[in-house]
Amino acid sequence: MSASPRTLTVLGSTGSIGVSTLDVVARYPERYRIHALTGATQLDRLFEQAQAFRPRFVVVLDEASAEQLATRLKAAGSQTEVLCGEAALEQVAAAPEVCTVMAAIVGAAGMKPTLAAARAGKRVLLANKETLVLAGRLFMDEVKASGAELLPIDSEHNAIFQVLPRAHREHPYAQGLRESGVKRILLTASGGPFRTRALDTFAAITPAEAVKHPNWSMGRKISVDSASMMNKGLEVIEARWLFNAQPDEISVVVHPQSIVHSMVEYADGSVLAQMGSPDMRTPIAYGMAYPERIDPGVKPLDLFSVGRLDFEAPDLARFPCLRLAFEALAAGGAATAVLNAANEVAVAAFLDGRLSFPGIAALSEAVLEQVSGLPAGDLESLLLADGAAREAARAWLARGERAC
């Protein structure tokens, strides 16, 4: 390992992935140093993190929060500077002294700073899948042009990365999957908390039920996405871009135990899988130390207590969001950006009690139909599509079209 520590910016340090990342950093103080931490709310947590990791910068959303946090830090004798706003997020992601950026902001809000990190040629640890759903081609073009090192953190994509041929995973655009000897990607999905729940009770699902994932502990938005299986749909789109895969080279396999994190099927019939306890510190540590391996404190996988591994086909009638993601991918243009934006508005409304659980798919489908045919050429056109979809989604909600 190199003598000087790797300098990290953690975008979204107060969230589930951010906290797990700092847990790994704390185990290896000689290897990693924090340049910047960022968070939207949760100022108490940011204050504690700043005290523990002594970053050069902390970035928050608005000036009032920045002032409040700066006063507290100063009173505690901290040297950390507090910045705010979108431009500051991009600044700490692209700073010359930073080697690695953990992109762990949730939603489309994470796209610009993640793009800034890629443009600046950083090692990008990509948790924020929405960046690829919103701007997959553009983002991968930036990675290619700058020579950034892209390491997927999403557990499934991290698993696929681990079992793909090294040449393909590091330079996915040199050739297609088939030319690399790969037949298809088998993306596993737990099926979430409602895999076997009676369909006629879906309208009664509460936010508390939806965020209670059987195997993983995650932020609220991704937990709802997992319950609707929109998360798996977003991950299909994510895999398409990360691995230069055609949509028909990606199959979703429901695997309720979340032990096999995904698989790759080769031309000769071999299927390689990556397994482990469901703990995000494994893919996070993999990305941080790549190509070395470090111990992130994860409970070892005990196959005897797991006992069995089950696999089933996904039920698209039960989980229409997964179908919508495949449709958006097939439609091309800005359709996946539209789907992502509609889903973000729908999930926020569901969590606020303004939309039923089946309403998430109904709203997303209506917006996908209404805001169609938009191009995905550049960042501006993608942001326009994102904005148009959000507006259409809000109008749909205002009309009270609960549709279920």
Residue 186 structure tokens: 């088998």
The residues, any chain, with a CB within 8 Å of residue 246's CB and separated by 6 or more, are 176, 177, 240
Choose from Mg ion, ligand NAD, none: what does 290 bind? Cβ within 5-8 Å by kind.
none
216 sits near ligand NAD (criterion: CB under 6 A): yes
The residues, any chain, with a CB within 8 Å of residue 390's CB and separated by 6 or more, are 341, 342, 344, 345
Classify residue 5 by burial, with Cβ atoms within 10 Å: 0-12, 13-18, 19+: middle
365 sits near Mg ion (criterion: CB under 5 A): no
Smallest distance, Å, CB 386 to ligand NAD? 13
* Distances in whole angstroms, Cα of residue 90 to Cα of each of 219, 244, 274: 23, 27, 33
25 sits near ligand NAD (criterion: CB under 6 A): no
Helices (H), 54-106: 63-75, 86-94
94 sits near ligand NAD (criterion: CB under 6 A): no
219 sits near ligand NAD (criterion: CB under 6 A): yes
Choose from ligand NAD, Mg ion, none: what does 136 bind? Cβ within 5-8 Å by kind.
none
Count of residues touching ligand NAD (by CB under 6 A): 26
Segment 120 to 159, residues that bind ligand NAD, using CB under 6 A: 127-130, 154
Taking the CA atoms of the chain, what radius of gyration do you get in angstroms?
21
User: Nearest 5 degrees, angle CA 10-CA 348-CA 195?
Assistant: 95
Residue 163 structure tokens: 């079992």
279 sits near Mg ion (criterion: CB under 5 A): no
Chosen residue from 7, 9, 14, 282 binding ligand NAD by CB under 6 A: 14
Interacting span for Mg ion (CB under 5 A) from 27-35, 104-112, 148-156, 207-215: 148-156
Choose from Mg ion, ligand NAD, none: what does 222 bind? Cβ within 5-8 Å by kind.
ligand NAD
**How many CA atoms does the CB half-sphere of 69 hold within 13 Å?**
31
82's enclosing H/E stretch is: strand 81-84
Q: Which is nearer to ligand NAD, 106 or 368 (CB)?
A: 106
Interacting span for Mg ion (CB under 5 A) from 94-102, 153-161, 353-361, 369-377: 153-161
Residue 262-301 contact track with ligand NAD, rule CB under 6 A, x = bound: ------------------x---------------------
154 sits near Mg ion (criterion: CB under 5 A): yes
| Dist CA 269 CA 221 (whole Å) | 37
3-state helix, strand, coil split of the chain in percent (to 5) is 50, 15, 35
Chosen residue from 18, 193, 276, 314 binding ligand NAD by CB under 6 A: 18
The residues, any chain, with a CB within 8 Å of residue 363's CB and separated by 6 or more, are 342, 345, 346, 349, 355, 393, 396, 397, 401, 403
Chosen residue from 66, 73, 95, 105 binding ligand NAD by CB under 6 A: 105
Choose from Mg ion, ligand NAD, none: what does 18 bind? Cβ within 5-8 Å by kind.
ligand NAD
How many residues make up the chain in this entry? Answer: 404
Q: Which is nearer to Mg ion, 156 or 386 (CB)?
A: 156
The gap from C-alpha 195 to its chain's centroid, in whole angstroms, comes to: 22
Choose from Mg ion, ligand NAD, none: what does 219 bind? Cβ within 5-8 Å by kind.
ligand NAD
106 sits near ligand NAD (criterion: CB under 6 A): yes
Which residues of the shown chain bind Mg ion in the complex (CB under 5 A)? 154-156
What is the contact surface with ligand NAD in residues (CB under 6 A)?
Answer: 12-18, 39-41, 61, 104-106, 109, 127-130, 154, 216, 218-219, 221-222, 280
